[in-house]
Amino acid sequence: MEELIRCRGLSKRYGKVLGLEDLSLSIPAGKIVGILGPNGSGKTTLIKMLCGLLVPEAGEVLIDGKPVGTESKAVVSYLPERPYFSDAMRISEVVDFFEEFYGDFRRETAERMLQTLGLDFDKKISALSKGNREKVQLVLVMSREAKVYLLDEPMGGVDPAARDFILKTILTNYNEDASVLISTHLISDVENVLDDVIFIKQGRLALYKSVDEIRMEKNKSVDALFREVFAC
């Protein structure tokens, strides 16, 4: 299968704190991959390197064969851990903003999904609940026809019904030739939608396997294996 993401020897420290240590991996097209690890293990550091917000101290990243830069950013759709829309913007303005900014944005798709949420497009971001704010942001990110979707904690702090909406939105909208990376610690909620999982432990790659392999070899869910690998 065609390789979409390649990382070689990625390392990064924050002062004395380890971010990533010699991390190498290759992710093919057409997969939904979970990046799993406890808080502070390096998940967000990895995602930020893939989308160019952080520069590794050593190693390199290739997205669709190209180093991280303008070309790679055009094919990467990134959902940050925290919402970044201005509170003062209206939903309709955020949609305009995305359309102007991204050539691969599908406006009709975004509007259709926002309608199913029953949200008034004139509403300001500041008037939305936390759950709705996350949903709006995910809808916009998934409405791009990207090759790589990087979703950093897409379900952090929302209720189970909102989680269902978010998973459904991801499944319905990702492009079949694209890859989706989901970083999360809510493993039991996402494991059924994942092809493969990557465990990151203290900045290092601890495991990279398919969910089926884990179930067959260990007779365990990913959630149960995670608790075992990262037991305190």
Task: Give the binding site for other proteins (CB under 8 A).
Answer: 30-32, 164, 167-168, 171-172, 176, 192-195, 211-212, 215-216, 219-221, 223-224
Q: Please provide the DSSP assignment of 144-167 as one string.
A: B--SEEEEESTTTT--HHHHHHHH
Least distance to other proteins, CB of residue 63, Å: 21
- CB of 214: closest distance to other proteins in angstroms? 9
* Angle, helix 107-116 to helix 160-173, in steps of 10 degrees: 150
Residue 109 in tokens = 């798709």
Nearer to other proteins, 68 or 146 (CB): 146
- Pick between residue 49 and residue 151 the one whose CB is nearest to other proteins: 151
**Which of 13, 218 has the CB closer to other proteins?**
218
Least Å distance between CB 222 and other proteins?
9
Q: Between residues 29 and 75, which has the closer beta carbon with respect to other proteins?
A: 29
Cβ–Cβ < 8 Å for 179, 148: yes
Output the smallest distance, CB 156 to other proteins, in A: 18
Residues 6+ apart with CB under 8 A from 146: 75, 76, 77, 104, 175, 178
